[in-house]
Amino acid sequence: MDIFENAPELALEWHRAGRGAAMATVVDTWGSAPRRTGAMLVVSGDGEMMGSVSGGCVEGAVVLEAQDALEDGKPRLLEYGVSDGDAFAVGLACGGTIRILVEPVGTALDEGLLEQIVTARAERRQVAYVVDTGQWSRTVVGDGYESRFAMDRSGLEEDAQTFVQIHNPPLRLIVVGAVHIAQALLPMARIAGFDPVVIDPRGAFGSQARFPGETILSDWPDEALDAVGPDARTALVLLTHDPKLDDPALHRALHSKAFYIGALGSKRTHASRTERLIEAGFDADAIARIRGPVGLDIGAASPPEIAVSILAQMVQALRRGA
């Protein structure tokens, strides 16, 4: 993701430490704006900043506005674009326009609301922070914006004044089978923003020597999945090519809300897998959730290329749905 993931936690920490904290969030963009809606920047009372709302284009101007907001305690909506007289002065000369919400913590943004967001994130619960920029009312809710939660998409509602900031749990990738493809897939997925876990009861495969620094579970796949608890922010990839390991994991996966389920194997292998699942009582809709053969068809041959195709398909499922 291109948002600053720890912005709420850092803002609450700085506020409670007496440093002062203001949250700056991109609420709308047009044209070739450099950051997506929802990108965040935290500014302290002494001018320290973490995060980004424009890739460096207007951060200096936003920091000054944030410090002014900390002094008067009032929120503000800022807009920068190439058509503005000050466009080149603030650096946004790429042709885009962005609108940024600045909220000082403790006055505009209540500390209790920010704490609700931070607590939900720590507990892997989805929440939306909703701001009416006309009335300047605010609330934190856990549902009501299902399409935004599913697409991980913050933004303005149709009324053009209600901003919805989506806070989803971190993405996770669970890989069953500590094989060569997994050795390539895990670091790629980590760079893309996933927290990876690899499951393999075979000690020779699932070792720190093969997966240095990664979380490795050596339990049987169904037991490991029960412990991890796949949710709507989880992708599951099965790479063992062994029904004794893959099938128990698939049974758990198909009863979960995992947004992506992929299984390695040829079309013939997947046909056999489908027959076994039907015999186990799964219907056609459930079985259709499985991407098999796994990965986008890009002609991948080597384990790293196959890993690229899997990661691309995971992102496609996350951003575009089934």
Cβ burial 71-92 (10 Å sphere, 16+ → b, else e):
eeeebbebebbeeeeebeebbb
Q: Distance between CA atoms of 8 and 79, rounded to whole angstroms? A: 22
Name, in order, each residue with C-beta under 8 angstroms of 301's C-beta and a sequence gap of 6 or more: none
Shared domain check, 260 and 248? yes
In a domain, 111, yes or no: yes
3-state DSSP call for residue 153? coil
Shared domain check, 183 and 295? yes
In a domain, 208, yes or no: yes
Contact (CB, 8 A) for 70 and 20 = yes
pLDDT digits (tens), the chain, 322 positions: 444 568 999 999 999 999 999 999 999 988 766 678 999 999 999 999 999 887 667 888 999 999 999 999 999 999 987 555 444 455 455 557 889 999 999 999 999 999 999 999 988 899 999 999 999 999 999 999 988 987 888 999 999 999 999 999 889 999 999 999 999 999 999 999 899 999 999 988 999 999 999 999 999 999 999 999 998 899 999 999 899 999 999 999 999 999 999 999 999 999 999 999 999 999 999 999 999 999 999 999 999 999 999 999 999 998 887 5
Task: At 236, list the tokens.
Answer: 């599951």
135: exposed, middle or buried (Cβ count in 10 Å: 0-12, 13-18, 19+) = exposed
Shared domain check, 123 and 209? no
Sign of CA dihedral 158, 94, 58, 61: negative
In a domain, 19, yes or no: yes
Shared domain check, 34 and 82? yes
Q: Which domain holds residue 285?
A: 171-320
Output the pTM of the full model: 0.73
Shared domain check, 221 and 251? yes
In a domain, 1, yes or no: no
Shared domain check, 263 and 243? yes
> Checking DSSP bridges between strand 260-263 and strand 21-30, what pairing results, if any?
unpaired
**What's the structural domain count of the chain?**
2
Name, in order, each residue with C-beta under 8 angstroms of 91's C-beta and a sequence gap of 6 or more: 54, 56, 57, 58, 60
Measured at the alpha carbon of residue 147, what is the angle toward residues 142 and 148, in degrees to the nearest 5?
65
Shared domain check, 113 and 45? yes
Q: Which of 141, 218, 134, 142 is nearest to 176 (CA)?
A: 218
Contact (CB, 8 A) for 53 and 24 = yes
Shared domain check, 15 and 135? yes
Shared domain check, 238 and 199? yes
In a domain, 2, yes or no: no
At residue 127, φ and ψ (nearest 5 deg) are: -145, 155
Shared domain check, 153 and 13? yes
Instruction: Please identify, among 167, 196, 220, the residue that sits at the C-terminal boundary of a domain.
Output: 167
Cβ burial 202-228 (10 Å sphere, 16+ → b, else e):
eeebbeeebbeebebbeebbbebbeeb
Shared domain check, 151 and 278? no
Instruction: Please identify, among 143, 167, 191, the residue that sits at the C-terminal boundary of a domain.
Output: 167
Instruction: Please identify, among 132, 167, 202, the residue that sits at the C-terminal boundary of a domain.
Output: 167
Shared domain check, 306 and 214? yes
Give the CATH number, domain containing residue 227: 3.40.50.720
